[in-house]
Structure 1
Amino acid sequence: MQLITKMLPLAAAIALFAGSAQAQEMVVKLGHVAPMSGGQAHYGRDNANGAILAVEDLNAKGFMIGGKKVKFELLNEDDAADPKQGTAVAQKLVDAKVNGVIGHLNSGTTIPASRIYHDAGIPQISPSATNPKYTQQGYKSAFRVVANDGQLGGTLGKYAITTLKGKNIAVIDDRTAYGQGVATEFVKGAKAALPGVQITQQYTTDKATDFNAILTAIKGKNPDIVFFGGMDNVGGPMLRQMKQLGINAKFMGGDGLCTAELPKLAGDGLSDNQVVCAEAGGVTGAKEKAMEQFVARYKKRFNMDVQLYAPYVYDAVMTMATAMQKANSAEPAKYLPELTKINYDGVTGPISFDDKGDIKDGTLTLFTFKEGKKEKIAVVK
């Protein structure tokens, strides 16, 4: 009995210390949204992994906000690349009182969801939505860490004329916000570079698998370049069918085609140097080493290669966390002003935003494929 009496003060002290330490720890909830199911699930998993890695790094290094150690919690949601599901999960995150949102992946889900986050006053950083409309709505809560379709599609259009010497171009888009947007900007860029260029346009969907009718119509025009506005799950099978029909044109597209999965999806339809695609973002010089280290860490952690956007998701999380730290608060209204004037040096390069929320001085990387591997052509602005 006497032994127990002597131990009570020590137990009380330990409990008091544990309670005090817990009181000093702040929980910050971050929402992340991407298609975790359906034809674009490989993109979604890649994005989610980028967010997971960032949160793990922040928690491991004892990140502090306003003198308190922070525990970041990640709420991963699946929008299936569907606008209706996108708005439903956006409302779910608002109801969960998240401190900020990273996402969505697609422009078609990011744009309608952005209104819900804006109305709730929750900052949103998309790591991959490129349609210009996203940041043209006047929402002060909306940001992106990649170049938009105006830059991406326009650069590809110019490249098609000035470097590939295209004169007769077929353009196909999948009618999504992303596909239509990047195709429109490609056409603008091509016409600006060569006003007399011949352009034929066809349309498909983001779930189509049979392209025989539109490709047969295109073949009759004998194009030297086919541009596709859409994602790899459609672009890959399209390449297969182009080969079957004997269409020997260059195949161009935006970041939706610039993935490690494209060679698998295209199979023997993909020839060396046939594809030219552009990825929003890109690093040169000293930053190349940092990106290589990130890619190696990612593969070790998840036992898979980076697909496309994971480094941008990682930087988006880190940028948001840094804004919170600068504001000494994770409250959206308090750290949002810091986000608008942030200057963060990320894995993907320097991140700061213009008055619309677009990344300043966004870069693009042009790629092709050789022997089934993605190969860099150049980094451009």
Structure 2
Amino acid sequence: MHTPAIAAAAMLVLAAPSPHAQPAGQVVQVKIGTAAPLSGTGAHQGKDIENGARMAIDELNAKGIVIAGNKVQWLLQAEDDAADPKTGAAVAQKLVDAKVAAVVGHLNSGTTVPASKIYSNAGIPQISPAATTPLYTNQGFKTAFRIVANDNLVGRILAAYSIGTLKAKKIAVIDDRTAFGQGLADEFVKRVKQAGSGAAVVSRQFTNDKATDFNAILTQIRARDPDVIFYGGMDAVAGPMLKQMKALGLRAKLVSGDGVCSEKMPQLAGDALVDDKVFCVVAGGVGGPQEAGLAAFNERYQQRYKMPVQTYAPYAYDAVMVFAKAMQQANSSAPAAFLPALTTVKHEGVTGSIAFDPKGDLKNAALTLYTYRKGQKTKLMVLR
């Protein structure tokens, strides 16, 4: 049910001037919002999203895009949601009040879901470049889209790889109790049980997303001598956890999702990150000719920001480009006008082919499996 304030905000958004509403020949501004943690332990991942979106904004401005006869000046409004659900909701309202045309965000599932209700009420399209919880697109909001695979696919692939390739018989599971970490771990456990391979979850442990001491839970796990430890959470926790696994003599491989699959992991884990110790997937994947496009993006990013892509910059970049394409397709930057175009848009992005199913999930989603060798993230294969 709409509150009067939200209803008023929605009216303002839909009534905002746009290339569709103005006489031809004007220069009009189109503002895209980003929302991600720019402070706290996940700041490097959140800044990666902002940086990727900013690259797209600058490239669109360089192209001189015209919509409905008006040259568009693209703007970016980046907000810090601190990976906190309440802050995420406040940031979402701030972006609605700022009359953004669309939002790239959020990073964490726990912030994406509450924020998505606010964008839906205001009629503002949202593409998450990172959130994987199935709940996000299961809510039925017409404004919610994502360009990464969801936890159902990630959990299934990682369970199959752990059992089939890593030959795991005994598996321990740890999660950080966030919407992302717990959701991914639950899906992984479900898939291990469904596999019927004789592999068993021999320990289920919990931590939190700001923890630094894992000796108690790892000591319990060590007593079970697992082949694989699955971790649901982010790299800021996984790095120190690996150090303590090494100190305790745990021989198990660490398997995880995209939150761990960053360029910062070698720095966070230090000499505990030995070759083929960690296996992780990033939701997305390119092969063949598309690899050159992603490599070129990574090079442009490195030149501009003097650092490598962490994980999500290419997805944020593609999200902005998808919004721009939908606006051009609809010949309008008014959210109500270009939102329907997002349901049919097809875009060849740096992360692969992008089109959405009726829920807003990515069609034919791919995953890329990585390990770390000689301190470098090393691509193993693309899986669909």
Fold similarity call, TM over 0.5: yes
**Contact 2:25-2:71 at 8 Å conserved across structures:** no
Conserved? CA contact 1:30–1:72, under 8 Å: yes
Report the Cα distance in structure 1 between the residues aligned to 2:72 and 2:285, rounded to whole angstroms: 31
In the TM superposition, residue 197 of structure 1 has moved relative to its aligned partner by 2.2
Aligned equivalent of 1:316: 319
Mapped contact 1:158–1:192 kept (Cα < 8 A): no
CA drift of 1:187 comes to 1.2
1:127-142 equivalent positions in 2, closer than 5 A: 127-142=129-144
Deviations 1:263-299 (A, max 9, x none): 1101111111011101100100000011111111111
1:22 Cα offset (Å): 10
Shift of 1:206: 0.4
Q: CA RMSD in A?
A: 1.3
Once the two structures are superposed, residues 88-131 of structure 1 have per-residue CA deviations (whole angstroms, 9 ceiling, x without a partner) of 00000011111111100111100000000000000000011011
**Partner SS state of residue 202, structure 1:** strand
Indicate if the aligned counterparts of 1:161 and 1:194 stay in contact, CA closer than 8 A.
no
CA–CA distance in structure 1, aligned partners of residues 105 and 217 of structure 2: 33
Counterparts in 2 of 1:75-224, with a 5 A limit? 75-194=77-196, 196-199=198-201, 200-224=203-227
* Alpha-carbon separation, structure 2, partners of 1:157 and 1:64: 47
The 2-side partners of 1:84 and 1:195 are apart by 42
> 2:356 aligns to what?
353
Residue 317 of structure 1 aligns with an amino acid whose one-letter code is V
Structure-1 separation of matches of 2:110 and 2:49: 16
Output aligned runs, 1:223-372, within 5 Å. 223-372=226-375
Stretches (4+) displaced over 4 A: 20-23
Contact 1:162–1:193 (Cα < 8 Å) also in 2:
no
Q: Is the 8 A contact 1:232 1:256 kept in 2?
A: yes
Instruction: Confirm whether residue 38 of structure 1 aligns to residue 40 of structure 2.
Output: yes
- Partner SS state of residue 265, structure 1: helix
The percent of aligned pairs where both chains have the same amino acid is 58
CA distance in 1, matches of 2:159, 2:190: 7
Deviation at 1:311, TM superposition (A): 0.5
- Give how far 1:34 is off: 0.7
* Structure 2 residue aligned with 1:69: 71
Give secondary structure in 2 for the equivalent of 1:169. Answer: strand
Contact 2:219 2:248 in 1 (8 A): yes
Q: Tell me, in whole angstroms, the C-alpha distance in 2 between the residues paired with 1:64 and 1:314.
A: 20
Cα distance between partner residues in 2 of 1:293 and 1:316: 17
Deviations 1:39-97 (A, max 9, x none): 00000111110010000000011011112110011000000101110000000001111
CA distance in 2, matches of 1:332, 1:298: 29
Query: CA contact under 8 A between 1:104 and 1:110: conserved in structure 2?
Result: yes
Q: The residue matched to 1:71 in structure 2 has which SS?
A: strand
In the TM superposition, residue 153 of structure 1 has moved relative to its aligned partner by 1.4
Q: Give the letter for the 2:214 counterpart.
A: F
8 A contact 1:157–1:185 mirrored in 2: no
Instruction: Give the Cα–Cα distance (whole angstroms) in 2 for the partners of residues 224 and 80 of structure 1.
Output: 35
Q: Deviations over 1:191-220 (max 9, x none)?
A: 222353221210000000000110011011
Once residues 181 and 366 of structure 1 are traced to their aligned partners in structure 2, the CA distance between those partners, rounded to angstroms, is: 20
Any conservation in 2 of the 1:154–1:187 contact (CA below 8 Å)? no
Structure 1 Cα separation of the partners of residues 192 and 274 of structure 2: 24
Aligned residue type for 2:372: F
Give the match's secondary structure for 2:226. Answer: coil
- Aligned partners of 2:125 and 2:144 also within 8 Å: yes
User: Where does structure 1 lack aligned partners over 5 or more consecutive residues?
Assistant: 1-19
Q: Is residue 329–residue 335 contact of structure 1 (8 Å, CA) maintained in 2?
A: yes
Flag the 1:22–1:42 CA change in 2: closer, same or farther, 3 A.
farther
2:371 corresponds to which letter in structure 1? T
Asked if the contact 2:24/2:68 (under 8 Å) is kept, the reply is no
CA positional deviation for 1:301: 1.1
Summarize deviations over 1:153-191 as a string: whole Å, max 9, x none: 110011110111100000000011110111111112222
Larger Rg: 1 or 2? 1
Spell out, residue by residue over 1:303-325, the C-alpha distance to the aligned partner (whole angstroms, 9 max, x if none).
Answer: 11000010010000000110001
SS at match of 1:273: coil
Compute the displacement of 1:21 (Å).
11
